[in-house]
Amino acid sequence: MTASICSPSISLPPSRLHKLGLSFPFMVAPMVGISHVAFRELIRSYLPDSLSPLLFTEMLSTLRLPHEDLSDLPGPLTSLGENYFVPQLLGNDETYISNSIERLLPFHPWGFDINMGCPASHQLQHNWGVRLLGDIDYASHVVAITKKHSPRPVSVKLRAATGAYIDLKYLLEFTKMMEESGADWITLHCRTQNQGHHGYAHWDLVGEVARARKIPVVANGDIHTWQDAIDLMKTYQVDGAMIARAATARPWILWQIAKKLGYQEKPTKRWETEPPWTPDEEGKEYFRAVLRFSCLLEDHFTDSPFALKKLQFFVAQGSRWLLFGHQFFHLVKRCKNLVEVRDFVNDYAEKTPQPMGQRART
Ligand SMILES: Cc1cc2nc3c(=O)[nH]c(=O)nc-3n(C[C@H](O)[C@H](O)[C@H](O)COP(=O)(O)O)c2cc1C
């Protein structure tokens, strides 16, 4: 990454991710139904080409990957020239994991991530996701076999705890074993299994884990703004911050962070030199982002009902940061196709401008 840096206004603590070749320690999370190629392209449209944050795919089942025609999914897995994307794997069986990695390598992923946080019941039946977090030996085995077959860095994304109660001693022991089994870095979603995606994230935990580990530790959960992301790194001395739902409201959040750190280069595909900052500017840009996203979905997905569903899901997540987001989402849900969405959004944005809040409505 060679973006020009001009008198940075905020400086960050050193990040061990630099040793893995990453100079921008902020990234966008894996999210089922969201983190597809069109979403990643939307995020990249707010960045200069020289700034390459890691962008994750949604979780991919290693049971299915070896048999799927990856050029014939509802849309392409990745777009031309995208090489900082990280497929997230759900799995536990060596044959399936190695076959999946083999199938994915021709797409030039930057690395592979192992999901140890998904609490969905159908994933638990397969004994993966957050189940792995409950069994240190089993999770270590999955890391070791993934490392054995991956020529790229391997990371693990886990939660603060299975169930409801946080046991710091266990978390430190677990992450130690991930490190010893070969994980190149760890992301901690600082909520428990029982919290799902709700409530405050326990950010203090990630600082404890980062202090105890030699490998980089990235914080995730409850990051709503650029300030949150930067404060997290500074306050808890973690190696990076992974943004999830806030990126569906402010897909320009990495641009804001980069600006605050002193990166001056403007996004390659935009004429503006500043990201939206004020609640009104962000509110206006949100509607433009929805319009742009609808076009990206059409570019990448030939199945129109599928593309419409993806747009509606994106709005369901991100509109919670808007003052009248609930109303906006319900009106978008009524649209029958993306052309209707665009007509509606153009009209709505003009008649109902609204500010974007710092935190999402819960
Ligand atoms: C719709 C949705 C889908 C998600 N899918 C995944 C996934 O595929 N893999 C994963 O590790 N986490 C997944 N997550 C969890 C996020 O990556 C992240 O850990 C969580 O949303 C907490 O961050 P936030 O509070 O900033 O949103 C998902 C979350 C949401 C809301």
pLDDT tens by residue, 12-69: 999 999 999 999 999 999 999 999 999 999 999 999 989 999 999 999 999 999 988 8
Give the strand pairing for 85-90 and 217-220: unpaired
pLDDT digits (tens, 9 = 90+) for 132-175: 999 999 999 999 999 999 999 999 999 999 999 999 999 999 99
Task: Output the pLDDT for position 273.
Answer: 94
320 within ligand 1 shell (Cβ under 6 A): no
Task: Output the pLDDT for position 204.
Answer: 94
Q: What share of the chain is helix, strand, coil (3-state, %, to 5)?
A: 45, 15, 40
**Distance from Cα 58 to the centre of ligand 1, integer Å:** 9
As a whole number, the mean pLDDT across the chain is: 93
Rounded to 10 deg, the angle between the 325-334 and 338-351 helix axes is 150
End-to-end CA gap in the chain? 36
Question: Coil, helix or strand for 117?
Answer: coil
pLDDT digits (tens, 9 = 90+) for 217-269: 999 999 999 999 999 999 999 999 999 999 999 999 999 999 999 999 999 98
CATH of domain 16-260: 3.20.20.70
DSSP string, 199-248: S---HHHHHHHHHH-SS-EEEESS--SHHHHHHHHHHH--SEEEE-THHH
245 within ligand 1 shell (Cβ under 6 A): yes
Under 8 Å CB-to-CB from 243, ≥6 apart: which residues?
A: 26, 27, 28, 29, 220, 223, 229, 253, 254
185, 17 in Cβ contact below 8 A? yes
**Distance from Cα 8 to the centre of ligand 1, integer Å:** 31
DSSP 357: P
C-alpha 19: how far from chain center: 21
85, 55 in Cβ contact below 8 A? yes
CA-CA distance, 82 to 107, in Å (whole number)? 9
Report the nearest-CA residue for atom 19 of ligand 1. Answer: 189
Rounded to 10 deg, the angle between the 279-300 and 338-351 helix axes is 170
pLDDT digits (tens, 9 = 90+) for 304-347: 999 999 999 999 999 999 999 999 999 999 999 999 999 999 99
CA-CA distance, 323 to 357, in Å (whole number)? 7
- Rounded alpha-carbon distances, angstroms, from residue 265 to 12, 54, 84: 19, 18, 19
C-alpha 47: how far from chain center: 16
> Which atom of ligand 1 is closest in space to residue 59's alpha carbon?
8
236, 203 in Cβ contact below 8 A? yes
Q: Which one of 189, 202, 203 would you pick to mutate in the ligand 1 pocket, going by the greatest count of ligand atoms within 8 A of its CB?
A: 189
pLDDT digits (tens, 9 = 90+) for 64-120: 999 888 876 777 788 878 889 999 999 999 999 999 999 999 999 999 999 999 888
| Percent residues over pLDDT 70 in the chain | 97
Run of H or E including 85: strand 85-90
CA-CA distance, 225 to 117, in Å (whole number)? 23
Q: Which one of 197, 226, 254 would you pick to mutate in the ligand 1 pocket, going by the greatest count of ligand atoms within 8 A of its CB?
A: 197
Angle at CA of residue 332, ends 330 and 337, nearest 5°: 140
115 within ligand 1 shell (Cβ under 6 A): yes
The DSSP bridge partners found for residue 322 are 356
Task: Output the pLDDT for position 145.
Answer: 98
Give the strand pairing for 185-192 and 154-161: parallel
The DSSP bridge partners found for residue 155 are 113, 185
109, 87 in Cβ contact below 8 A? yes
Instruction: Give the start-to-end residue ranges of the domains of the chain.
Output: 16-260, 279-351
CA-CA distance, 33 to 232, in Å (whole number)? 27
Report the nearest-CA residue for atom 22 of ligand 1. Answer: 221
